[in-house]
Amino acid sequence: MPITGRNSMAEIMTVLVTVAMWIVGAMGVIGIPVLGIGLAASLSGGTTEFSGIKALADGVVPGQLVIGLAGLIVIVPGVIYICLQLRRILLTLADGDPFVPENARRLSSIGIVIAIMELIRILTVMVVRLVPTLVGDEPPRMSTQFILWISVAALFVLSQVFREGTRLRDEEKMTI
């Protein structure tokens, strides 16, 4: 078996991350218009028509559609951004040199994007709860995801590990 010098597991993970990115993108392309049309139908009394497309949303609570639509609008670009950053990290790993300064910044930016997406989710639920006509009989639950915040902290820790790894590698290169 020939040795290529590349990390085949990193290459496989790159393919998986790319596939996930395209799936999420397709979900956004389909889901955002569908939820938008459903929201328009729900707000206009249960039915509406767009260019020959008749949308029925009788009995659907507009607040749930607002939360779903806002979620897709935030999550789809966020996940695509995260996947792109992961692909770049995996490409450096596949090349055999993951301890580069850019990877530390990439891990930090992934943590920031995840935190922003969660904060926007919480704010969306709070706003929907404040508008009685959107809520209906059952207001959406307020919740926070503890494990998500632990994951964000872990990403910042890994970012520091990569910074230190990069520094040590560069220091080692300068020693004789």
The answer as to whether 1 is a domain residue is no
Whether 79 is covered by a domain: the verdict is yes
138-148 burial, b at 16+ Cβ within 10 Å, e below that, comes to eebeeeeeeee
Residue 32 included in any domain: yes
Q: Is residue 76 situated within a structural domain?
A: yes
Can you give the pLDDT at residue 60? 66
For residue 66, what pLDDT is reported?
A: 78
Judged by DSSP in three states, 97 sits in coil
Residue 3 falls within a domain, yes or no? no
Please state, in angstroms and rounded to a whole number, the distance separating the CA atoms of residues 151 and 164: 20
How many domains does the structure of the chain reveal? 1
| Cβ neighbours for 86, distance < 8 A, ≥ 6 positions apart | 17, 106, 110
Does residue 36 fall inside a structural domain? yes
User: Is residue 72 one of the residues assigned to a domain?
Assistant: yes
Show the tokens assigned to 4. 């290529």
Q: Say whether 49 sits in a helix, a strand or coil.
A: strand
Q: Which two tokens stand for residue 77?
A: 């670009």
In a domain, 149, yes or no: yes
Residue 61 lies in domain: 8-96+103-174
Q: What is the pLDDT of residue 2?
A: 43
End-to-end CA distance of the chain: 34
Spans of the chain, pLDDT less than 50:
1-3
What is the reported pLDDT for 143? 76
Distance CA 10, CA 103 (A): 14
**pTM for this structure?**
0.79
